């Protein structure tokens, strides 16, 4: 395997990147000068050293001395915990300022096919909920997932798992101001405001 193939194979592991796009990235890099390549290499090697993963919500944030991120510290006393798929969804909801509860970044969905790999941090989520229940700092669990078959499958699986263990928790799902296929990451403030305000409770 030559260097082009090797690098393309690494790019292919990026989310949503296929074989052809991966090769386009490699050729793009071949056209760039050494300054750009050097900067890219520096940033890639710095990212693990400078960015922390919060041990409460599992989002990534610029490293400091604490083990929890500023959002977790600020909203520690809230009884609301929102489950989102990824960091970009959390950031989009957080920047609207409409939600002042806690978050948990799932990191992916539960695979609906046994053969597919599941990226969701289910064990970490269950541990987080147990911890919040013990501390009496949770009363509502909000599913803030995008609308897709995988997200729905994940929501139902999590709901049955968690509801069985904690029947007193209130469960809710963001209202359907979001249309099918909507990515939370790209939803505007008005849509999110409606989705939060019209969240559907189930129990
Ligand atoms: Zn956090």
Identify the H or E element spanning 103: strand 102-105
CA 62–ligand 1 middle distance (angstroms): 11
The string of pLDDT tens digits covering residues 109-165 is 988 877 676 778 999 999 999 999 999 999 999 999 988 888 889 999 999 999 999
CA 55–ligand 1 middle distance (angstroms): 7
Query: If you search the block for the tokens 């919040």, which residue do you land on?
Result: 132
- Torsion sign (Cα): 51, 53, 57, 58: positive
Confidence tier at 189 by pLDDT (50, 70, 90) = confident
Q: Quote the pTM value.
A: 0.80
CA 133–ligand 1 middle distance (angstroms): 17
- Rounded to 5°, the CA angle 25-26-31 comes to 95
CA 158–ligand 1 middle distance (angstroms): 20
* Residue of 124, 137, 134, 140 lying closest to 57 (CA atoms): 124
Question: What is the rounded distance in angstroms from the CA atom of residue 141 to the CA atom of residue 100?
Answer: 13
CA 200–ligand 1 middle distance (angstroms): 25
Helix 19-31 with 3-11: angle, nearest 10 deg: 120
User: Of 54-63, 92-101, 140-149, 191-200, where does mean pLDDT reach its minimum?
Assistant: 191-200
């Amino acid at each position: 395997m030559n260097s082009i193939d090797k690098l393309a194979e690494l790019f292919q592991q990026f989310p949503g990147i296929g074989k052809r796009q991966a090769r386009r990235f490699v050729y793009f890099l071949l056209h760039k000068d050494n300054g750009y390549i050097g900067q890219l290499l520096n940033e890639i090697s710095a990212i693990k050293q400078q960015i922390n993963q919060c041990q409460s919500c599992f989002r990534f944030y610029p490293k400091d001395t604490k083990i929890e991120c500023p959002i977790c510290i600020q909203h520690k006393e809230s009884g609301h915990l929102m489950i989102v798929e990824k960091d970009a969804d959390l950031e989009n909801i957080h920047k609207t300022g409409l939600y002042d509860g806690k978050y948990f970044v799932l990191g992916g969905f539960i695979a609906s096919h046994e053969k597919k790999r599941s990226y969701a941090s289910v064990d970490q989520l269950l541990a987080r909920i147990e911890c919040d229940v013990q501390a009496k700092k949770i009363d509502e669990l909000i599913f803030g997932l995008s609308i897709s078959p995988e997200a729905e499958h994940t929501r139902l699986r999590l709901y049955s798992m968690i509801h069985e263990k904690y029947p007193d928790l209130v469960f809710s799902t963001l209202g359907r101001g979001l249309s099918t296929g909507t990515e939370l990451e790209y939803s505007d403030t008005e849509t999110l405001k409606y989705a939060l305000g019209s969240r559907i409770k189930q129990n």
